[in-house]
Copies of this chain bind each other. A is one copy, B any other.
Amino acid sequence: MPDAPKTIKDVAAKAGVSIAAVSKVLHGSGTTVRVGTQTAERIQKAAKDLNYRPNRHARSLRLNRSYTVGLIFHGIDNLSKQLFKVHVLDGVHDAVIPAGYDVILLHDLSRGPGYSQFVDGDRFDGLIWARLSSFEQFSGIVQQVKSPMVALSTPSRPGLPLVPKLCCNNRQGMDLLIDHLWKLGHRQYAYLTESYLAEMMEPMDREEGFCEAVGRRGGDFEIVRFNDAASEVYRWMEQGRYPGAVIGWNEDTAGYVLESALKLGIQVPNEISVAGFDSTWYCDTTSPRLTSVRQPILQMATDAAAILLALIEGEAAPVLERSYPCTLDCRESTAEVNPRFI
């Protein structure tokens, strides 16, 4: 720990000017303080010589800006097992770091002690809220949060607060998948989901999309809702009441099906077809490789961050809602229906 950090005073002293001039030259935007070219140069040099960097907290206090963006998920424990979230983090980082902002990852404590920590105006200049839960939660948040926010992976719905919303087109994605399976002859489907998702808007859309896509074609389907898919899928598979096509609400859930099938000696895709949603690289590592609907996660995250930045800078929201088409990555876990399921 060499010397005390340099302050604006040190620079002013060294350059023989007032601290106002220094401030103006180094960051000034307004037209309030005018400085001559030579003076400016002298100040620049002094700052450089002293290796001066302005105190972050002082600026923040004065300007009421934190240069920090919050990224909020429902859960952030065990991120390593949730590639979707890590991808979002990657995308947000990409967009936000070059602009000089930090990003802080937060847990969505909505069911807990309230939103206080997000609401604090001084902590974040803006918030990216991923996968908003209920209608009520959304409205509650918007009412309380003081800084700009954008909702990621949150579908648009009539009556929702006027916050920018970005979401992949879950219905279209599901339709793509069902179309694929239907052509392979599948008429019986199961959709595996978890109970905590019941009121989240994107998972709801996805589930409804599934029901519609199968229903419209005249197929049979059931919704299987687990409290903890990781530990319960195996037992469900073991009971043997699965249909010929099993779809996980996301790729992780579909992964549990694959693992269980392997343990139980159920052949995928010969006996049953399995598919998921998201299509990160995880789907390339399963055996068999997992067929999955793909959403453009990285793009969505980057866009969300860019929009948030614009809002922070005071621009009007460029878009209020954006829907991203999904594509289908056909891998190895889906095939023609086994005759036994017809």
Binding site for B on A (CB under 8 A): 1-2, 5, 51, 53, 55-58, 60-61, 66, 76-81, 83, 86-87, 89-90, 93-94, 97, 102-105, 107, 116, 120-123, 143, 146, 280-282, 285-287
How distant is the Cα of A281 from the Cα of B76 in the complex, in angstroms? 17
Select which of B79, B102, B122 is within 8 A of A104 by beta carbon. Answer: B102
Q: Do A80 and B90 have beta carbons less than 8 Å apart?
A: yes
Closest chain B residue to A288 by CB distance?
B287
Q: A2-B143, A104-B104 are in contact. List 14 more A-B contacts (CB 8 A).
A: A5-B146, A53-B116, A55-B122, A56-B120, A60-B60, A77-B93, A79-B86, A80-B86, A80-B87, A97-B107, A103-B104, A282-B285, A285-B286, A287-B287
Closest chain-B Cβ to A316's Cβ sits at a distance in Å of 16
Select which of B5, B51, B66 is within 8 A of A57 by beta carbon. Answer: B66
How distant is the Cα of A5 from the Cα of B86 in the complex, in angstroms? 33
Judged by DSSP, the binding face of A is: mixed
How distant is the Cα of A280 from the Cα of B282 in the complex, in angstroms? 13
How distant is the Cα of A105 from the Cα of B230 in the complex, in angstroms? 29
Q: Do B53 and A77 have beta carbons less than 8 Å apart?
A: no
Q: Do B94 and A77 have beta carbons less than 8 Å apart?
A: yes
4 A-B pairs closest in CB distance:
A285-B285, A57-B60, A57-B61, A80-B86
How distant is the Cα of A81 from the Cα of B79 in the complex, in angstroms? 12
Which chain B residues lie closer than 8 Å to A282 at the CB level?
285
Closest chain B residue to A259 by CB distance?
B284
Closest chain B residue to A55 by CB distance?
B122
Cross-chain pairs A/B with CB under 8 angstroms, 5 sampled:
A5-B122, A78-B90, A97-B107, A103-B104, A285-B285
Which chain B residues lie closer than 8 Å to A281 at the CB level?
80-81
Q: Do A80 and B120 have beta carbons less than 8 Å apart?
A: no
Q: Do A57 and B122 have beta carbons less than 8 Å apart?
A: yes
Which chain B residues lie closer than 8 Å to A56 at the CB level?
66, 120, 122-123
How distant is the Cα of A70 from the Cα of B228 in the complex, in angstroms? 33
Which chain B residues lie closer than 8 Å to A97 at the CB level?
107
Closest chain B residue to A59 by CB distance?
B57
Q: Do A5 and B121 have beta carbons less than 8 Å apart?
A: yes
Q: Do A77 and B57 have beta carbons less than 8 Å apart?
A: no
Which chain B residues lie closer than 8 Å to A77 at the CB level?
90, 93-94
Q: Do A280 and B122 have beta carbons less than 8 Å apart?
A: no
Which chain B residues lie closer than 8 Å to A280 at the CB level?
80
Which chain B residues lie closer than 8 Å to A81 at the CB level?
281
Closest chain-B Cβ to A84's Cβ sits at a distance in Å of 9
Which chain B residues lie closer than 8 Å to A120 at the CB level?
5, 53, 56
Which chain B residues lie closer than 8 Å to A60 at the CB level?
57, 60-61
Closest chain-B Cβ to A295's Cβ sits at a distance in Å of 14
Which chain B residues lie closer than 8 Å to A122 at the CB level?
5, 55-57
Closest chain B residue to A88 by CB distance?
B80
Closest chain B residue to A285 by CB distance?
B285
